[in-house]
Structure 1
Amino acid sequence: MDNLKDHLTTYLDSTREAMLWKVEGLSEQEMTRPMVGTGTNILGLIQHLATVEYGYFVECLGFTVEDERHDALMADPEVSADMWVPADVPCSEILDFYRRAIAAANHNIAALPLDAPATVSWWVPEKRDTTLGRLLLHMNVETARHAGHADIVRELIDGSTGMRRDNTNIPPYDPVAWTQLHANILRASESR
């Protein structure tokens, strides 16, 4: 029988793994380097996702987050504190933070049915009361969105591309073919 909860968690787990894969082989500086004007960096995206995992799958389900890193970020007056990592915080600490958040989330997801009630205090009042199922759908979208950001940031850092370790979902072009494709697309764009 088709199990929606299994599908939602399988997709979420796959995208979580993709996020962690995006930092493999990078130095601490590369993980934290802002690559666009908004400051987006891969480790900041991972830290943000950890706070969101704790928020949706622990707090919104009526449980208490027990994580010092989470508490520190939530107490920080800087509104974007979860999107970047200060130099005195080791990158490994943030990766562990994400793994802890995933473990806490998965524990609660496994224990509750999709129709379990949830309350999202930061959503507009008429949509605050929701369910675990909707939170799973929301986190699939949120994590996939940030995985896309991480894809682009990683490509800007060192040219690495791909959707997941086990399925890059990228044509098997050699460097010459990529250069030619880029030139074709640029020519088409400039011809408009």
Structure 2
Amino acid sequence: MTAATDAAKSDLRRYLQEARDALLWKLDGLPEYDVRRPLTPTGTNLLGLVKHAAGVELGYLGDTFGRPSGEPMPWLADGAEPNGDMWATAEESREDVTGLYRRAWAHADATIEALPLDTTGRVPWWPDGRDELTLHHAVVRVIADTHRHAGHADILRELMDGAAGESPTGTSLPSDDPAWWKAYRDRLERVAREAGRKA
């Protein structure tokens, strides 16, 4: 491998790991009910986002490149309930789902390490004739998907208990003062009402 390839893979893994860590962090300190609680009309919930992200990694960075993980994913079986990867059953513990996700990381990271970025794979669930992509494309796709769901998780967690930001040590928020946030939110509400009256 060239130094440029090593650097590219290092960058991709770093951004992917940051998204993974952010997604899992959103579960910290919450009771079992809260990690499973549907908080949107479409049922979005924290543990379901983690379960979905595990399946995405195992699919795009495993099966697509002829590297099946051997992990059972019953939500993909013929006749499986629609959207089964977006929530955890009562029988699936938090540890089951987060353990699956961590094993998915290891499997995906091994694929990234083992193959050149220009390796072509076939996505089994894409239509014939449009089912090829490179490893580089697959990793970027997984990074984008994981960051998107980490953002969903951030909003869900903030709605539950006010915890927000990208990590426990670096929230990238301008303040941690609840009074500042209340004044800020109140100001935005006033601006929104004013703009609404003008429309």
Mark yes or no: TM-score above 0.5: yes
Which residue of 81, 87, 109 maps to 1:84? Answer: 87
- Secondary structure (helix, strand or coil) at the match of 1:118 reads strand
Distance across 2 between alignment mates of 1:113 and 1:137: 14
The 5-angstrom pairing of residues 4-43 of structure 1 reads 4-43=8-47
Distance across 1 between alignment mates of 2:177 and 2:129: 52
Instruction: Name the TM-score, length of structure 2 as normaliser.
Output: 0.91
The Cα shift of 1:126 comes to: 4.8
Which residue of 48, 69, 73 maps to 2:75? Answer: 73
RMSD: 1.4
Gaps of 5+ in 1: none
Cα shift readout 1:111-134 (whole Å, capped 9, x = no counterpart): 111011111133344542111000
- 1:170 partnered with 2:173: yes
Percent of pairs identical after alignment? Answer: 38
Cα shift readout 1:43-65 (whole Å, capped 9, x = no counterpart): 00000000111000110001223
Aligned residue number for residue 163 of structure 2: 160
Cα shift readout 1:92-150 (whole Å, capped 9, x = no counterpart): 11010111111111111111110111111333445421110000110110000000000
Gaps of 5+ in 2: none
Aligned residue number for residue 97 of structure 1: 100
Instruction: Name the TM-score, length of structure 1 as normaliser.
Output: 0.94
Distance across 1 between alignment mates of 2:67 and 2:48: 25
Aligned length, in residue pairs? 190
State the structure with more CA Rg. Answer: 2
- Secondary structure (helix, strand or coil) at the match of 1:171 reads coil
